[in-house]
Structure 1
Amino acid sequence: MSEEKKKRFKMPSALVILFFLMLFVTILTYFVPAGEFGTLTLETGQEVADPNQFQFVDANPVGFIGFWAAFPKGMVEAATVIAFTLIISGALEVIKQTGVIDIAIYRLSQRFADNGIWVIPILMFVLGTIATFIGTEELSMVYIPIILPLMISLGFDNLTATAVVILSTHIVGVMSSMTNPFNVGVSHEIAGLPMFSGLWLRGVLFIVLFFICVIYTMRYARSIHTDVEKATQEAIRIGAIKEDEGKQEVNDKMTSKQIGVGLVSIALFAVILALVIIQGWGMIEMAGAFVLLGVVAGLIGGMGGDRIVDGFVNGAIGVMSGSILIGVATGISVIMQEAKILDTIVYYFGNFLQSLPLLLSALAIFIFIALFAFFVPSGSGKAVVTMPIISPLARMVGLNQQVSVLAYVLGDGVAKPFYPTSGTFMATLDVSKVKWQDWAKFYLPLMAILAIVSIIFIIFAQFINYGPF
């Protein structure tokens, strides 16, 4: 009887999990005291929390209507990320309809037919490099429709494709964050450090994380590798790829138009990456540039206006459910902000930090940020809330500012690819048809390894007085 019940039990969908998490946080607002920091304006004009101005305020728990209103409010709050995701997915679909991506996938699958495992380090290096320089792990959701068919064509499964994307962007890229403007950039600005200083140690971190994640992913990929036909049928069964994707004939010869599309797409993408680093472009500017990229690629590929529009729409539809997940997950932060309990949590941590020895202070920042990421997954958003408090407290206890930023970045990176409150992460799982519990089983051992590596780097950084200060 108990075995039958076990067989009947089915883990809830991502949206159901998020619903109950929102309910849990709503209940939490009745027990955590409300409080708020004052604000101060940095030289750049950015408003951040003032660590010298905190006060408890009247309790403001979220009521029945407030709970339900958090769903649309989360969508509004995450509008930039959602628009960014929909537009880039649309642009990639336009490029895909020219046939360039299918041919590239076919050629790669033929080239690595006997050694498909070596595609993993190549892809992870490329995606990790993009992420470490410009951040935007949000791109992971739009990489999946390109990388998933390739991995299936090599005899791997959807979890392998997901691991390649999430580990390369969220871990290799964002945890090293060599010039990530949305993570290190904001933290350095608040801490008063030279922008992107201390690059050498984060470069070493990139290499270490790359090899750890590649070895871990390749080990899993080898254990589940099967023949292409079985991999394709399983992917079709779970809805990871469409039935026609597994059967369509692909001509490996590119036309002159397709060559033009490929060259222009690569060139414009490189320009976008450069402008993110040099000009500090955000998601809005990047999304606008991808609209241009999609239109130009479509015109060069011989697509008319209607086909280009259809491509954008179909691409957006492909990630629509994931975009909804981003909005719902953001609703959790909305609830905490409206109840004014986020600042209270940071305030209590600040008091705790002052009571710790120097070395334990750095490790406490790492652990606190890893836990706090459950409530505020956004790297830059978390920096604005926490770094104005952490930075002066670190100075008071004698902790190097650069070490405090490193602890922040590592804590933020190691936790987000696990928490179901991280909208981008959950959306990526949704697009690739990987269940959260399956990912958790895969990621938890690696998460423990990454936590140990992070602690070693933090201790080393403190030991060498990692600077500038």
Structure 2
Amino acid sequence: MHTSEVKVRHTVEQPAASAWAMPDTYLILLVVALLAFALNFLIPAGTFDTVTRVVNGVERTVIDPASYQSAGDGPAGMAFFAEGGEIGLLNFAFEGMVSGTKWGASIGVFAFILLTGGAFGLVFASGSVERGLFQVIARNRKAGHFYLAILCFLFSLGGAVFGMGEEVIPFTLILVPLLVSMGYDSITALLVTYVATQVGFATSWMNPFGVSIAQGIAGVPLMSGSGPRMLLWLLATLGLSGYTMLYARRVQVRPGVSLAFDSDKVFRDQSTAAGKLQSMVRGDGWVLLLFLAGIAWMIWGVVERSYFLPEIASQFFTMGIAIAAVAIAFGLNGLTPNKAASAFKEGAQQLLPAAMVVAFAKGIVLLLGGDDPQGASILNTVLHAAGNGLANLSGAVSAWFMLAFQTMFNFFITSGSGQAALTMPIMAPLGDLVGVTRQTAVLAFQLGDGLSNIIVPTSASLMGCLGAARLDWGIWARFALPLLAGLFLLASVAVLLAAAVGF
């Protein structure tokens, strides 16, 4: 590396002070909760009947689009404070936190985020990972941009093939300190991990939790239309890779332009400490071997055994305990059982804000009546009204509005399979009426559902990754909104073109 290059990279430009600051994530969610509460006095709730249908060999419950009924004569309102475990404005945070099961939002995701954070607290307490990462950095700094492109493609492929979501949180925990040490920032790490998975998820030709379910519900052959979808995936992933490399180079040359510059200080301090301890010591090899074995075990479990939140959280907890035991035995970083326990608590504490946001977001959905189609819900009424509204449009215009509706509806139902079960029984036959093929309706669904995940604060995997990066959602939104606009433009072109050629 040339001396002049070193000088450029150490020239730090502090972001200009601003009189206006982005509101905290919790304040934003509180405002949204107030709006959701107010809608109960403006929009009547409604219900759908459900039917059981075999989708790709699995029985799934989907709505009957012709069964919509209003739950009353008009808006029912809502209690300000509810008793007996019911939902009211002041109850939304607690009810959101305890809703769901261990398999999903919110209590399952809440536990997954905290346990994974604690496990990685144990992993990093040994210091072995930091010393190992420093060796990687020292040898590969000049090839950094090339590795960013590889990571984009790998994580995008993970999103496309097996619907990678919450599973990306541990990888974010690993890559944020590594990429910050290489002169990038935590936003770069989020681009190559979380954003890449969502681009892959949205443009997939085989994702089992999104496009496959939507095709089954719509009565479209599984894996049909794979060629155009693969081409779209390649174009979107290439675009994201190029965007990421340009952004990363800019941050590497001028660190102060990063919106994450202040929050990344903790990672820069860690990399400085790791640099002082750059030589690996006795026992580091065993820790790194256990670490790699744990990652391989997790990947095998997800791909071969369909592991999800309960199993993955337990795998990382096991890995953390095993690594802590080895670190204590070798005396790495002066680790003792008490210090290991403190590291576990600190790791969980780091991700607690992200877990709390997941609970708040779920509480907002409950204020709207929840996502059960058979329960009285404002979301059911909105879905029914959207279907009727789109029926008055035709052709490509209707296809584009399907995309726009799926994008907005994803704020409330971020689960790909859940949104497919709710919306596709309406959108697929609606397409028949307005001259949009069911394949194009599925494309509008998957693009709207997947791409908006990069910014909606109701996404558990996004909030977990932001917690791992120590980045506030408001700061992330400032960065991600222009990116989302570009991706939405690409999606719009894809859907309009698909409608025009009768895809």
TM-score, normalization by structure 2: 0.80
Instruction: Compute the displacement of 1:324 (Å).
Output: 0.7
Aligned position for 1:241: 267
1:68 maps onto 2:68 in alignment: no
- Selected match of 1:388 from 425, 430, 437: 425
1:331 maps onto 2:363 in alignment: yes
List alignment gaps of at least 5 residues for structure 1.
1-5
1:48 maps onto 2:62 in alignment: yes
Secondary structure at the aligned position of 1:48 is classed as strand
Which stretch of structure 1 is more off in the superposition, 321-330 or 236-245?
236-245
CA distance in 2, matches of 1:7, 1:358: 46
Instruction: List per-residue Cα deviations over 1:63-89 (Å, max 9, x = no partner).
Output: 211011111111123112222323333
Instruction: Compute the displacement of 1:25 (Å).
Output: 1.4
Identity over the aligned pairs, expressed in percent? 28
CA distance in 1, matches of 2:111, 2:164: 13
Q: For residue 358 of structure 1, what is the amino acid of its counterpart?
A: G
Instruction: List per-residue Cα deviations over 1:122-146 (Å, max 9, x = no partner).
Output: 2222222222222242244433332
Secondary structure at the aligned position of 1:170 is classed as helix
User: For the structure 1 residues 290 and 203, does the alpha-carbon distance in structure 2 shift closer, same or farther, using more than 3 Å as the test?
Assistant: farther
Instruction: Compute the displacement of 1:56 (Å).
Output: 0.9
Secondary structure at the aligned position of 1:225 is classed as helix
- Selected match of 1:127 from 124, 146, 155: 155
CA contact (8 A) 1:240 1:431 kept: no
User: For the structure 1 residues 271 and 445, does the alpha-carbon distance in structure 2 shift closer, same or farther, using more than 3 Å as the test?
Assistant: same
1:213 maps onto 2:240 in alignment: yes
- Selected match of 2:231 from 165, 189, 204: 204
What aligned pairs does 1:134-153 form with structure 2 within 5 A after superposition?
134-153=162-181
- Selected match of 1:422 from 455, 459, 466: 459
User: For the structure 1 residues 366 and 151, does the alpha-carbon distance in structure 2 shift closer, same or farther, using more than 3 Å as the test?
Assistant: same
1:287 maps onto 2:324 in alignment: no
Aligned position for 2:493: 456
Which stretch of structure 1 is more off in the superposition, 198-207 or 432-441?
432-441
Instruction: List per-residue Cα deviations over 1:411-461 (Å, max 9, x = no partner).
Output: 112222223343432443344243444433332332222122112222343
Aligned position for 1:365: 402
Which stretch of structure 1 is more off in the superposition, 94-103 or 52-61?
94-103
Aligned position for 2:85: none
What aligned pairs does 1:11-410 form with structure 2 within 5 A after superposition?
11-43=22-54, 44-58=58-72, 59-65=75-81, 66-77=88-99, 78-99=106-127, 101-171=129-199, 173-226=200-253, 240-241=266-267, 243-248=269-274, 249-252=277-280, 255-275=284-304, 279-295=305-321, 312-337=344-369, 340-410=377-447
Q: For residue 60 of structure 1, what is the amino acid of its counterpart?
A: A
CA contact (8 A) 1:235 1:241 kept: no
Instruction: List per-residue Cα deviations over 1:342-380 (Å, max 9, x = no partner).
Output: 011110111122222232232221111111122323322
Secondary structure at the aligned position of 2:454 is classed as coil
Aligned position for 1:3: none
User: For the structure 1 residues 263 and 8, does the alpha-carbon distance in structure 2 shift closer, same or farther, using more than 3 Å as the test?
Assistant: closer
User: For the structure 1 residues 451 and 237, does the alpha-carbon distance in structure 2 shift closer, same or farther, using more than 3 Å as the test?
Assistant: closer
CA distance in 2, matches of 1:406, 1:308: 48
CA distance in 2, matches of 1:427, 1:268: 21
Q: For residue 369 of structure 2, what is the amino acid of its counterpart?
A: Q
CA contact (8 A) 1:182 1:380 kept: yes
User: For the structure 1 residues 178 and 300, does the alpha-carbon distance in structure 2 shift closer, same or farther, using more than 3 Å as the test?
Assistant: farther
- Superposition RMSD in Å: 3.1
Instruction: List per-residue Cα deviations over 1:228-262 (Å, max 9, x = no partner).
Output: 9x899x96766543845532313347755235314
Instruction: Compute the displacement of 1:121 (Å).
Output: 1.2
CA distance in 1, matches of 2:292, 2:168: 22
Instruction: Compute the displacement of 1:164 (Å).
Output: 2.9
CA contact (8 A) 1:416 1:425 kept: yes
CA contact (8 A) 2:294 2:316 kept: no
CA contact (8 A) 1:239 1:433 kept: no
CA contact (8 A) 2:166 2:464 kept: no
Question: How many residues end up aligned between the 2 structures?
Answer: 455
User: For the structure 1 residues 255 and 443, does the alpha-carbon distance in structure 2 shift closer, same or farther, using more than 3 Å as the test?
Assistant: closer
CA contact (8 A) 2:298 2:312 kept: no
CA distance in 2, matches of 1:194, 1:309: 52
CA distance in 2, matches of 1:269, 1:405: 31
Instruction: List per-residue Cα deviations over 1:315-351 (Å, max 9, x = no partner).
Output: 3222111111111111111111256110111101111
CA contact (8 A) 1:127 1:165 kept: yes
CA contact (8 A) 2:350 2:467 kept: no
Instruction: Compute the displacement of 1:29 (Å).
Output: 1.8
User: For the structure 1 residues 11 and 447, does the alpha-carbon distance in structure 2 shift closer, same or farther, using more than 3 Å as the test?
Assistant: closer
Instruction: Compute the displacement of 1:111 (Å).
Output: 2.3
Secondary structure at the aligned position of 1:419 is classed as coil
User: For the structure 1 residues 259 and 31, does the alpha-carbon distance in structure 2 shift closer, same or farther, using more than 3 Å as the test?
Assistant: closer
Instruction: List per-residue Cα deviations over 1:159-201 (Å, max 9, x = no partner).
Output: 3333333321222x22223433322233233223444443333
Secondary structure at the aligned position of 2:51 is classed as strand
Q: For residue 300 of structure 2, what is the amino acid of its counterpart?
A: V
Aligned position for 2:103: none
User: For the structure 1 residues 428 and 257, does the alpha-carbon distance in structure 2 shift closer, same or farther, using more than 3 Å as the test?
Assistant: closer
Secondary structure at the aligned position of 2:142 is classed as coil
Secondary structure at the aligned position of 2:50 is classed as strand
Secondary structure at the aligned position of 1:64 is classed as coil
Which stretch of structure 1 is more off in the superposition, 30-39 or 92-101?
92-101
CA distance in 1, matches of 2:310, 2:363: 21
CA distance in 2, matches of 1:236, 1:11: 14
